[in-house]
Structure formats: structure tokens, C-alpha cells
């Protein structure tokens, strides 16, 4: 293992975390990075380095500022435990199964590697967590990087600011930022990727083969990085699971639109400070983090989402791709068959309601109603879940792949995850693919995946997905010996359907996606006419 140190191991192991100390073969390892020396733990052939600072703590005067360089340290830093998660609601954090504390000092990353030498140049995968841009953390057990590291990659997971700390826009912040504000969480990701470029070779990784991958808000984030000028050259492939951001900017309460313009986000930022009782940003920076976190807010209507700031996000991604203005890399994108089932409950997603559709979908409401049959209660529930799936995740995936194949030099590969279990007879819910991707089925906290005793077919599906993902990270193509052939997405609209008989077939919901596409074309024309 990279620069393994055995001298004085008995004394060092006394300080190792309980998890590492319980592993009989554990060894403390050492590696030098740009900030100083690190101690990690080697267990079952994988060295893990946790809680590595990649930026300064964004506290006090650094709150709501771009990430600043991390301070170097003297001596050897023990990289044995996850750092605190970024500020968020405690119930959201505990739901993931993580025991990590919450703090505003949270800009840290983790590395797992099975490389024996720094010269190996293994492909690198950088994980960006989801959570609606309001929560999420690297310490979630599902995201453990050991299995993917054993499969041949160097796995990195990085933290970013969420909620008001990561995505507050305000006129004063825009003046400070030279005309833009609100995307501090995305700037954290860029800072983390720059750290990877500087340091990952020391862990046996190849900085010229970096894949960014994420799910849900993490998938939305990687799609934004795929069009963000500041992220150019920091990665060479993209994997997006149930994400993407290709709908127009939000104007009011239109269905499927989430990204605010800078001016609208600034107005919502001003309203947020008024509720805090802060006269300006300086006063808000002086408030305790807990006061800001506990402030009442409407997450979808107050700008705590990435913002079209003109710099990190120059504009509507659909338009940018149509103009060839994006970071052209191979992409592997997809979604789950029953994404919307996770949200099918009061207050989130209900049975399809004709009046609500006519209100939210304007002149294209009848087209949507025809594409999603809803004659009885059961049909209406299915239609409500499927419409949420398609407008939030399915169409974003389909539009991205279509734009990449039409305007990019690199290939797009699309999947449709439909692996069913006794817990998910109607198809996998949102985020259900994650333990299959990470090889953590036994540690999964996902609601519809096997928690303790995965079936043989579950383990086979996990191995299939991991091989596809690792192949893509290594060669920009998921195909490999012994795997069902996965064609690139093109005019034939072929996707890899990951079900009981995996194979390339047309997307099962293509007709519905085309109806949603007609709706978004209508909204984009409305935007152009403003």
C-alpha cells in the first residue's frame, strides 16, 4: 500500500477509530498531500483517508464567500474519521444512517484506494451526494467507497455547503462577488475537484481520468458542472443518477422548474434576512449557524437551490448545450422506474389531479393528461408518481442524452433501472440504485433495497452495475467482456434496461417523455417572450 508505515503501529492503533481497531488486519498508512502528511487506515486491501480538508472552514467572515485555501498543518494529520456534515436539519441527517455531527466547518473530503503504488494511475471517481441541496453528507454508510476501490478505482467523496449556507443569493453578496452570488455549494465542488487534480496521483489515481458522479441533487449538480466554465478541465467523464437540470428557469410555480434567476433569488435572499432580523449580510454573518439553520423557509420558493448567476451557471443548460457551450465529456445517465413512488404521500406527490395539471402545465395540460392515464384511483396514483418521475428525473436524463449526442463529440449512455425486490414490487424508488452502485447492499438504509440478506440476483445486479460504472470511469465506455452490450444513445433511443434480463431496449416511458418535452418547449417559448 502507498507508503505503508508499520513502525510504532501498536501505539498508533490505540488512537484509531473503533471501526478500524476492530479490523484485525488494519494498518495505519501515510501519504503526503498539499497540506501536509496524512495517516489513514488499511483494511481488507483498501486504504481509507477520511476528513481531509480541501478548503478553509467557511465560518465567520468566510460565510457566504467562495471557498478559500485550506491551512497547511504541521506533523501528521490523523485521517481516520469522517468530518462533520455541513449545516442541515438534524432529522434529515440521521435518516441517512450517519452518526456524523453537524457543523459549519465541513469542507472535507475522503479517499479510498487499493493502489499499491502511487504510479498505478487508476481511474478516479468523485462522489457528490444528493439531498435536495438542503441536506446530505459523505458519511452515509451507503456511500462507503471500499467496494468500488477494490473494483479498481480511487474513490473520492467530497462535502459541499447546503441550504442557506450553500445557496443564499443577496444583492450585497452579489456586489461582493463581482456581480454574482448564491452558488457557494457548487464552488465547493469545484474547489474539491481542484484538490483532486493536485493530489490524487499520490493515492495511485489518474488526474486525467476523473469521473464526477452523483444522484438526485448530486446528479443535478454534476449536470451543472458539465456546463460550468469554472469546472472546465477538472473531470473527463460524468455519471448522473436521477438528476440533470435542463428545464427553464423558474418564473413562478410552473411544474418542473427549480432554478431561479439571480434577481429572483436575490429577492428571496432579502426576505430571508428580514425573517432572521438581520439588517444586512454583515449582521447575518455574526449570527450563530444554528439560528440561520432554524429559520423558517419554503425550500422551493426562496432560492436555496443553485442560481443562474451568469458565472458558475451562465444560463439555461438546454440552450447552452444547443449552442455547444458545455464541457464536452462522455456521459452515463439514467433514472429508476418508480422514482416518484418515494414521494407519493400527502404534501409531496398525490394522485394525478386534472385541475392541478391544468394549473401547473398551462396550454400543454391536455397533452400531459392524455399521456398519463388516470381513470381510477389506482391509475391516478400511478400517473402522479410517473409524472413526477418524468418531469423531475426522466426527461432531464433523456434531454441531456439527446443534447449530448446531437451537439457533443463524446458519447452518451442511458440506463433505466428496473430491478425489483420484495420490498419494491412496483419498481425501484428514488435512490434505490445507490447500494448497488457502491456495493453496500448489506449496509443500505434505502427503503426498498435488501437490508441484511441480499438475494443472489441482488448481488448479481450490484456486480453488473459496478462493472459498468468502473468500465466507464476507466475507458469512457461501460462495455466490457461478458457484459450485455450497451449501445451509445442516438436516434434509435436505445437504453440499457437493468431488470431481470438486462439488455438494450427503447425506454419504456418514451411516449410520456415526449409529452413532457412538448411541455418544456412551450415553457421555454414563454421565457423567450418575456
Domains along the chain? 1-183+250-314 (3.40.50.1820)
Strand partners, 122: 205
Q: Are 53 and 192 in contact (CB under 8 A)?
A: no
Give the pLDDT score at 346.
Answer: 77
**Residue 391 gets which letter from DSSP?**
I
407 as an active site residue: the answer is: no
Retrieve residue 460's grid coordinates.
448479481
430 as an active site residue: the answer is: yes
Catalytic residue among 146, 216, 405, 444: 216
Catalytic residue among 104, 215, 254, 339: 339
Please tell me the distance from the alpha carbon of residue 1 to that of residue 355, in angstroms, as a whole number: 62
Rounded to two decimals, what is the model's pTM? Answer: 0.93
Catalytic residue among 174, 430, 444, 462: 430
**Residue 60 gets which letter from DSSP?**
G
Specify the residue for cell string 471557498.
67
Per DSSP (E only), the strands in 122-243 are 122-128, 154-158, 205-215, 237-241
Q: Do the bridges between strand 237-241 and strand 331-336 make them parallel or antiparallel, or are there none, so unpaired? A: parallel
216 as an active site residue: the answer is: yes
Give the pLDDT score at 11.
Answer: 30
Please tell me the distance from the alpha carbon of residue 496 to that of residue 506, in angstroms, as a whole number: 8
Q: What is the mean pLDDT of each run of 10 residues along the chain (530 residues)?
A: 37 29 50 97 96 98 98 96 94 69 97 95 98 96 97 98 97 97 98 98 97 98 98 98 95 86 94 95 98 77 81 96 98 97 84 93 95 95 96 98 98 98 95 97 67 89 98 98 97 95 97 97 84
Cα-Cα-Cα-Cα dihedral of 99, 100, 104, 108, to 10°? -150
Phi, psi of 27 (to 5 degrees): -135, 140
Amino acid at each position: 500500500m502507498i507508503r505503508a508505515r508499520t513502525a510504532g503501529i501498536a501505539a498508533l492503533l490505540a488512537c484509531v477509530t473503533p471501526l478500524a481497531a476492530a479490523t484485525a488486519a488494519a494498518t495505519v498508512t501515510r501519504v503526503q498531500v498539499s497540506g501536509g502528511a496524512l495517516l489513514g487506515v488499511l483494511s481488507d486491501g483498501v486504504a481509507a483517508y477520511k476528513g481531509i480538508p480541501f478548503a478553509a472552514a467557511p465560518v465567520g467572515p468566510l460565510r457566504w464567500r467562495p471557498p478559500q485555501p485550506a491551512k497547511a498543518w504541521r506533523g501528521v494529520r490523523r485521517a481516520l474519521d469522517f468530518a462533520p456534515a455541513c449545516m442541515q436539519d438534524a432529522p434529515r441527517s440521521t435518516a441517512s444512517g450517519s452518526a456524523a455531527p453537524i457543523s459549519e466547518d465541513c469542507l472535507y473530503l475522503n479517499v479510498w484506494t487499493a493502489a499499491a503504488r502511487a504510479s498505478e494511475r487508476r481511474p478516479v471517481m468523485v462522489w457528490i451526494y444528493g439531498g435536495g441541496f438542503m441536506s446530505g453528507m459523505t458519511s452515509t454508510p451507503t456511500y462507503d467507497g471500499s467496494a468500488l476501490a477494490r473494483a479498481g478505482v480511487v474513490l473520492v467523496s467530497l462535502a459541499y455547503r447546503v441550504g442557506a449556507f450553500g445557496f443564499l443569493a443577496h444583492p450585497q453578496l452579489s456586489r461582493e462577488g463581482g456581480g454574482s452570488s448564491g452558488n457557494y455549494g457548487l464552488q465547493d465542488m469545484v474547489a474539491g475537484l481542484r484538490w483532486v487534480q493536485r493530489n490524487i496521483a499520490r493515492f495511485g489515481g489518474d488526474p486525467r481520468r476523473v469521473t464526477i458522479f452523483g444522484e438526485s441533487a448530486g446528479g443535478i449538480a454534476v449536470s451543472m458542472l458539465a456546463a460550468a466554465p469554472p469546472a472546465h478541465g477538472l473531470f473527463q467523464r460524468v455519471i448522473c443518477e436521477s438528476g440533470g437540470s435542463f428545464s427553464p428557469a423558474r418564473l413562478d410555480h410552473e411544474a418542473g422548474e427549480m432554478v431561479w434567476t439571480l434577481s429572483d433569488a436575490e429577492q428571496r435572499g432579502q426576505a430571508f434576512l428580514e425573517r432572521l432580523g438581520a439588517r444586512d449580510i454583515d449582521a447575518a454573518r455574526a449570527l450563530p449557524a444554528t439560528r440561520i439553520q432554524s429559520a423558517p423557509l419554503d425550500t422551493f420558493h426562496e432560492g436555496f437551490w443553485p442560481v443562474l448567476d451568469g458565472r458558475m451557471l451562465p444560463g439555461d443548460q438546454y440552450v447552452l448545450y444547443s449552442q455547444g457551450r458545455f464541457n464536452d465529456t462522455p456521459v452515463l445517465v439514467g433514472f429508476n422506474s418508480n422514482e416518484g413512488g418515494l414521494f407519493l404521500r400527502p404534501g409531496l406527490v398525490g394522485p394525478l389531479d386534472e385541475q392541478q395539471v391544468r394549473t401547473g402545465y398551462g396550454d400543454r395540460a391536455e397533452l400531459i393528461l392524455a399521456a398519463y392515464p388516470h381513470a381510477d384511483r389506482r391509475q391516478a396514483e400511478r400517473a402522479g408518481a410517473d409524472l413526477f418521475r418524468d418531469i423531475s428525473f426522466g426527461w432531464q436524463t433523456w434531454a441531456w442524452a439527446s443534447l449530448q449526442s446531437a451537439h457533443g463529440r463524446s458519447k452518451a449512455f442511458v440506463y433505466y433501472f428496473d430491478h425489483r425486490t420484495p420490498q419494491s414490487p412496483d419498481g425501484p424508488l428514488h435512490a434505490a440504485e445507490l447500494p448497488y452502485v457502491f456495493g453496500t447492499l448489506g449496509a443500505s438504509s434505502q427503503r426498498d433495497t435488501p437490508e441484511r440478506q441480499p438475494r443472489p440476483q441482488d448481488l448479481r445486479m450490484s456486480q453488473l452495475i459496478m462493472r459498468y460504472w468502473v468500465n466507464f470511469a476507466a475507458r469512457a465506455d461501460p462495455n466490457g467482456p461478458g457484459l450485455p452490450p450497451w449501445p451509445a444513445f442516438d436516434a434509435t433511443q436505445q437504453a440499457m434496461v437493468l431488470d431481470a434480463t438486462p439488455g438494450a431496449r427503447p425506454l419504456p416511458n418514451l411516449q410520456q417523455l415526449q409529452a413532457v418535452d412538448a411541455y418544456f418547449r412551450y415553457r421555454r417559448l414563454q421565457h423567450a417572450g418575456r
